[in-house]
Chain A
Amino acid sequence: MPQSFTIILGKAVRYAARLRGGGSALPGLFVERISPSFVPDTLAQLPHGVVVVSGTNGKTTTTKMVVSLLESQGLTVFTNRTGSNFVRGVAAALLGDVDTKGKLNADIAVLELDEAHAVKFVEIVPPRYSLLLNVMRDQLDRFGEIDATARMLEKIALATIDTVVINREDSRVRNIGTKLPKTTSVRYFGLDNRLLSQFPNDDDLHSTTGPKKTPIAERPKADVILKDFNQKGAAFTISGKDAVTPLKLKGVYNIYNSAAALALVRAITPDASINSLLGALSIVTPAFGRGETLTVNGHPLELVLVKNPAGFRLGLESYDPTGYATMIAINDNYADGRDMSWLWDVSFTKLINNPVYVSGLRGYDMALRLQYDEVSMEKVETNLPKALADFIALHADEPKRIYCTYTAMLTLRKELSKITRVEVVS
C-alpha cells in the first residue's frame, strides 16, 4: 500500500479514536499493521536522527530537558509527549505530526522509551544517540531481574550508531561502556566524589554485606559532572570548566539528570556554548504534577498529588488516561482539608472510558462525585493499603496512575516503599 494512503488512513483512525475519547496507541497499531515501514521511514528523514532516552527513573523529566536544550540551539524536535512510550505509541504520535506525504517537520526525534520497549524499538530504528540513565530494582521482581534490565540497556547501546551517553555512577550502566565497539563514541556524566553518598545506586541500597564501591579513581572521565547543588541551583564541571546555574527543577534525581541532559545535548550539538545551554536548562520546569514515577512489577506507577480543584483539573488535562489503570485516593485529614466540596469543582469526564479504582478515607465521596459524572468505577475500597495492593494485583501488567491527596500520598509512598524504590523527599 502506498505510504501516503497509510498516513491518511492512520490520521483518520487517529481522529476517530480522539472522537471516541481515547486510544492514543490505537491508530499507531493500525499503521504498524498495514505499513510496518512507516515508523522507520518517517524517522529516517530526520537530519539529526533519533535519540533514545531510557533507564528506570527520570526518563520523562530528562526527556523534557533534552528537548528544551535542543530547541534552545534552534532545532525542531519531535518527541513522544503522549506517554505512549512504545513503538505503536511513537507511530501514533508521528501520525499527528507528519503531513499527508509522510514528511515530518523536525530536525531530530527525542524518544523516551521503557527498557523493554526500547529494545524492540532499536531493532526497527537504530538510534543515532542514546542516553542510559540508571537501573533500579523493583523488589517485587525476582532476584536477578535487575541484570536483565541492564542487558536491555546494553542492547540499546549496541544498536546506537553514533554516541552513547552513560551514567558513570551506576556500575551496571557504566559497564555497558566497556562492551561497545570502537566505532561507537561513549560519553559519561557523573557526580563529584563528595556527592556520591547522596545518590545511592541500586547496590548501595540493597547490599546486605556493605556496598562494594568502585574505587573513586577507577571511574572514567565524565564530560559533565554535577559538582554541587542547593535549593536554588546547581554547579557543574563541564569539560573541565566550572559553571553555575539557577534551576527551576526540584528533586535531587532531576538535578542529577540535568547533567545527563547536558552531556547528551553536548554530544549532539558540539558547538553549543555552555552559557546558552545552562540558560535553557535554568528555565526548564518539572513535568506538571509529576511527583514521581515508580516502578512496580516492571511497569510505571505515577503518583499525582492533587490538592485543589485547579490542580486536579490540570492533572486530568495533562495526563492521557488511555493505557493507564487509574486510581483516585481522597483523604480528608487536616492537611488535606476536611471539606469535600472541592471535588465538585472538578470535572472527571476525561476518565469516562476508564473504570476508576476509588479509595481514601473519603472514597465514597469520590465515588459519589464520579457517579454524577457517569464515570464507571472498578471498585471502592476506603482502606488505602488494602486498595493499593488490590489495584496493583488487578493491573499487574499495566502502567498505573494514582491521583491522591497529600496524606493519601504519604500512605501510598509508605506502602510502595515496601515493594519498590521510593525517593526520599526532604
Chain B
Amino acid sequence: MSTPAQNPITILQLYPRDMNIYGDQGNLQVIERRLEWYGYTPVVISYNPGDKLPTNVDIIIGGGGQDSGQEKIHADLLKIGPQLKKWADEGIPMLMVCGLYQLFGRFFKTLNGTHLEGIGILDVETYGTNERLIGNIVTVSDSFGEIIGYENHSGQTYLGETCHPFAQVIRGAGNNSKDGHEGAVYKNVIGTYLHGSLLPKNPAIADFLIKTAVKRKYKTFSPDLIDDMFSDLAREIARDRPR
C-alpha cells in the first residue's frame, strides 16, 4: 500500500540509547522537520551498540552522555570507526556534540587516568578536569556567523596543529579554558560542545548539514524559505542572558 518516500534523506543517529542528553534529540528533530519543510522525506536510523550499520547514509549525528554511556558504546564505536572515517572522507555531513565529539577525537583521558581511545576523525585530544565549563556561550565562525548555545563539560579539548576549530569564542569557555576557540571541523564533520539544543537556535548549521547531504545525493538544492523568526528572537534573548 505504501508508496516510495519522496526524495528520502537518511539520518543515522549514533547511540541514542546511551549518548543522548541535554536535548540532543532537538538536533535530530530540527533536521527532520526542516527536511520535510524543504520537501524531502527524512528517514531516521537509530544505531545502538551491536546493531548492523546501514550501507547508505546521508547525515550522521551523535550526542553527549554520562561517563558510563561513553564506556558502554566505546568498544562498538572503535569497531565502526573505520567506516565512519571513510564516510567522513567522502564528505558525508556529521554533527557530533559533547561526548561523541570527544570520542571522534584521538583520545579522552579521564581524571582517574583511564585512557579512552577515540576514532581519530578529528585531530583533537581531551583531558578530564575538575573544572566544569558551564553556561551560556556565544561563538562566531566565518561560515555560520554568530553561534548561540550552552556548554556543560569538564573534559577540556585541545586541537592538533592541522585541526581547524569550529568557531571562536565571544563569550564563555569553549574547547578549554585557555585557547578561546570552540569545537573542531574536518571536511563536513562538525564536533562541538554546544547544547541548547544547537540546531534550533542555529538553523544555518542545520541547513549546512541538509544542503550538503541533499547536494551529494540529488546534485541540486533549491529550498523554500523557512520562517525562522522565533529562532532569531530566541537568539537575541539568549545572547544576553547571564552565563
A binding-site residues for B, Cβ under 8 Å: 332, 334, 338-345, 361-362, 364-365, 367-369, 371-372, 374, 380, 382
Contact = CB atoms under 8 A, between A and B. Distances in A.
B223 interface: no
Interface of B: 22-26, 29-30, 33, 135-136, 150, 152, 195-197, 200-201, 230-231, 233-234, 236-238, 241-243
A221 to B, nearest CB: 59
Given A341-B23, A341-B197, A345-B23, A365 B242 contact: no
A339 B230 contact: no
A156 B170 CA distance: 66
Contacts of B23: 340-345
Contact of B29 (A344, A362, A380): A344
Given A338-B136, A338-B150, A332 B241 contact: yes
A1 to B, nearest CB: 38
Nearest to B201: A368
Contact of B22 (A342, A368, A372, A374): A342
Among A343, A344, A345, A380: residue with most chain B CB under 10 A: A344
Classify the secondary structure of B's interface with A: helix
Contact of A341 (B22, B29, B33): B22
A338 B135 contact: yes
Contacts of B29: 344, 372
Contacts of A380: 230, 233
Nearest to B236: A364
A372 B36 CA distance: 11
- Tell which of A341, A345, A380 has the most Cβ of chain B within 10 Å: A341
Contacts of B200: 344, 368-369, 372
Contact of B233 (A340, A344, A364): A364
Nearest to A365: B234
B160 to A, nearest CB: 29
A341 B233 contact: no
Contacts of B236: 364
A336 to B, nearest CB: 11
A338 B22 CA distance: 12
A339 B234 contact: no
A329 B200 CA distance: 19
Given A372-B33, A372-B200, A339 B195 contact: yes
Contacts of A368: 200-201, 230-231, 234
6 contacts: A338-B136, A340-B196, A341-B197, A361-B237, A364-B233, A371-B230
